[in-house]
Structure 1
């Protein structure tokens, strides 16, 4: 099973190229981006998003725009966190992204993609709740227990 990619390096550049160059320029070569760091931030964002999507079969067949925006915010956070340059704005966007994911997880937001099918309930394998507060009735059963 291959992982769904919620955002790409190009998505990050399209959203805020200046920020990407600030937090992801290669050490010793400021004219090149650290693609390893960018890919790690994108992978971390994907992993974090997937922890909230248990109601959906993964990988998703398509990436809803909402998840793309969330992934960008989370990836920006992880890129900035590499050298402790998380600003208040980056932190707020990360927190907002997590709030969106919690809403999706709780069913308050719909992604518009099929949800995982719940297994049908049958009589086999069901657990029965027994009232343990009642005293044993061993004498009534003639010592069977």
Structure 2
């Protein structure tokens, strides 16, 4: 399952940049095949981090993974005429750090291991328990 689409890439980076990254034939258009292959490879890279923590394929794609997939795809497509830039390299490195945090369990995708969405809204429940020290327990001191 791919975590991002051509429309996601255009939304994040703009059509001009996606054309520059994918147009191997110099037709001035997005090469859908090149982009689809790159998105698929980026999704495979993401799956390598998620496997073992989540059952794959995920039932839905969290927005965080869509952004990470776009950043990885952009980085992987750079080279040749589309020069790798410092911002794209930094976004890639940040994406990998986030995936490592997900793998360790330090960052959540909003899914529990049973693939049910974790509620993000609700009340916090606090249980104070019983007091250890009170006037009665400290009366002799």
Q: Into which bin does the TM-score normalised by the smaller protein fall? A: 0.7 to 0.9
Within-5 A mapping of 1:1-145:
4-17=1-14, 18-30=16-28, 32-54=29-51, 55-81=53-79, 83=81, 85-115=83-113
Q: Give me the TM-score of the superposition, normalised by structure 2.
A: 0.74
Deviation at 1:26, TM superposition (A): 4.0
Deviation at 1:8, TM superposition (A): 0.2
Q: Going by fraction, where is strand more abundant, 1 or 2?
A: 1
20-29 vs 92-101, greater mean Cα deviation:
20-29
Following the alignment from structure 2 to structure 1, what is the Cα–Cα distance between the partners of residues 85 and 69?
17
Following the alignment from structure 2 to structure 1, what is the Cα–Cα distance between the partners of residues 79 and 41?
12
Larger radius of gyration: 1
108-117 vs 5-14, greater mean Cα deviation:
108-117
Deviation at 1:112, TM superposition (A): 1.1
1:25-78 CA-to-partner distances (Å, cap 9, x unmatched) read 241312x21111101110111000000002100000011111111001001111
User: Structure 2 vs 1, CA of residues 99 and 20 (structure 1 numbering), >3 Å: closer, same or farther?
Assistant: same
User: Structure 2 vs 1, CA of residues 69 and 28 (structure 1 numbering), >3 Å: closer, same or farther?
Assistant: closer
Q: How well do the aligned residues superpose, as a CA RMSD in angstroms?
A: 1.8
Following the alignment from structure 1 to structure 2, what is the Cα–Cα distance between the partners of residues 26 and 87?
19
Q: Give me the TM-score of the superposition, normalised by structure 1.
A: 0.72
Structure 1's unaligned 5+ residue stretches are 118-145
